[in-house]
Chains A and B, each alone.
Chain A
Amino acid sequence: MNVRHIAADFRIVARSYFRNPLALFFSLIFPIILIGLFGLIFSSASSGPIALQVLNEDHNSPLSVQFLAELNQTHVVQVDVVNDASVTPATFATWLGQNDHSVGLVIPAGFAANLSANRSVNLTVYSNPQDAASAGQVYFAVTGVANGYNLEAAHGTVLIQVPPPQNVGSQVLTYIDFLIPGLIGFSILTSPMFSMVDVTSSYRKEGIFRQLSLTPLTRSEWLVSRILWYVLLTFVSAGIMIAAGIYLFSAHVGVTLGMLPFLVAGPFLFVSLGMFAGSVTKTPESAALIGNIITFPMMFLSGTFFPVSSFPPGLQAFAHVLPLYYVIDGLNQVMLFSNTGLAYTDLAVVLLSGVVIFALAVRFFKWRDE
């Protein structure tokens, strides 16, 4: 690998990009528009706390009451404990519907006992799919508070003692906080995927790759220069999105060095994937189709706009095979929960799949045909 070759090719990529207003728009302006749009929708929707119906099957144990109090303190939800003895977990969903409530939460029996014994408990959240905005926010508030407990458990502290508010783990997170890592992941995915698939197939069709094959530039050098370009683009667009989130919507995300590996490994993975998709297809049209088939599910199901934990179990399992899930989960861990331990696992998954796909892309990508 020759650094001067990579630098020369990088200049070509950068120039082509700056001279193509549409490409710049999609990489830099589009994310801001998304942040603005989602930010506005959800900040207006959350003008007041959302009424959350809670069925407390743990008979108002002190720990469950404490949990609900913390939930109230998020100001995202207003907890209404259901006092109607005829309502059971089995009839709760129907009851919610009949009474026109859009969100509900069940605290299971044995909640306090299990938590104290460090055994896991399931909190069931009900929501009305037609009210996705409240659903997302409620899930987020509940998982945010629950995460505070889980973190404490991981540190071996007694669960009943709820951490003080300044603890990052129990910090009150809003939807916009969650949205920022999600949208950074969104642009890490979309900006290289859409253009690499297109570039790879159309360069082959136009004979530009054959032209390049007649020079000392190697395929890996070509790929590395694109990866570097998209890493740079990701840094800039992530910076813009974080700034927009913080200044326009008072988001509180942690801007830490822990983000950097994801902002490098993410583009590495998706530039390679885009090139792979563009190389294994014969025409630009089929390449675009394959590109979309790969990109669209990932775009929505990896926790970009809504937390994966709010998905039904089947969809959650599916999300876990999408590489973007690990990019976004990792960014969530470092930016929202300061949980570097979990982020390492995510990073390992992203890097490993990146290396595999890079190798496949270089293997299947032909400068010249037989």
Chain B
Amino acid sequence: MASAIEVRGLVKRYGPLAAVAGIDFSVPTGAVFAFLGPNGAGKTTTTEILEGLRRRTDGTVRVLGLDPWEEGRPLHRRIGVIPQDFRFFEKITPKEAIEYYRTLFHTRADPGALLAEVELLDKIDARFDTLSGGQKQKLGLALALTNDPEICFLDEPTTGLDPHARRAIWAVIRKLKREGRTVFLTTHYLEEAELLADQVAIIHRGRIIAAGTPGEIIRAHGYPARLSVEGSAELAAYLGRELHVPVYAEGSRVEVELSDRRDALRILSAIEASGLPWQSFETRQDSLENVFVRLVGQMDEGALKSEAPG
């Protein structure tokens, strides 16, 4: 399948700071791609380079086969953008805003239908400066859809929104995917990436530290799954002797590493064979969140060590 977005060796420097320090990724057409990272990781910088709003320092970028900085005009007719902090003319209503965009883009978008799609129909005639943060973001989304874009860029579309507004935005993103559009999404919410994205790249300090589907990332960087039962330290010691796999005693629980699901039965038999009391077994899978927190933490520790005077 052709890539909607292709990035090779992308670098962006602000003076001495390399906000993006050489990243590569590609987004297949029709996929939802989540760019996940903490504040200051370089998400907005990368996004705006893809949108043609910032100039890159180095590397190649192709969006729909176009160079965003040099070929912004043709590109902008085919993409929709909701910036991180969407602002618009204060005294203008959502209906007027969409009519304005419709004229500029020469499309027939219907303000009522678009605003209904983002659940903003009740504010169709309210002035922008009276809208709440979530409502403004929804208008941004509706405006980004006026030109029927092939790719939608959403930079932290749900940051700071209440759970209800967040769900409304998620619903629109799912709908965009169903309509066959490519979605490029940045977020620092793990669950958002896990819930919506086909592909995730974790960016930290301008570098991609993990990429793939959420499952792939967990398999590559997460701890192996564990089988856990409630039991004593004595049980832990017994299992350690019997099973030749790592066993951990954590509080009142005993955890056994489960590198293969087929081991589960063998482990349970060993537990039962010990004759010691035990109950309530469960398996625990590392979450994307754990992986993310750990990867970012490791990198920061490494950075601290290498930055330490020596």
Contact = CB atoms under 8 A, between A and B. Distances in A.
B87 interface: yes
Interface residues of A, number: 24
A154 interface: no
Interface in B55-111: 55, 72-73, 76-77, 79, 81, 83, 85-92, 96, 99-101, 103-106
B54 A368 contact: yes
Interface residues of B, number: 29
B76 A8 contact: no
A16 interface: yes
Contacts of B79: 214
Contacts of B293: none
Contact of A208 (B52, B55, B87, B91): B87
Nearest to A215: B104
Nearest to B57: A370
A19 B89 CA distance: 11
Nearest to A368: B53
B92 A207 contact: no
A7 B102 CA distance: 13
B92 A214 contact: no
A369 interface: yes
A12 B92 contact: yes
B103 A8 contact: yes
Nearest to B51: A214
A200 B103 CA distance: 23
A216 B55 contact: no
A4 B91 contact: no
Contacts of A8: 99-100, 103-104
B88 A211 contact: yes
A318 to B, nearest CB: 39
Contacts of A369: 54
A215 B127 contact: no
A213 interface: yes
Interface string B6-45: 0000000000000000000000000000000000000000
Given A208-B87, A211-B88, 4 more contacts: A8-B104, A15-B91, A207-B83, A213-B53
Interface of B: 51-55, 72-73, 76-77, 79, 81, 83, 85-92, 96, 99-101, 103-106, 127
6 contacts: A12-B100, A15-B96, A16-B90, A16-B92, A207-B85, A207-B86
Interface of A: 4-5, 7-9, 11-12, 15-16, 19-20, 206-208, 210-211, 213-217, 368-370
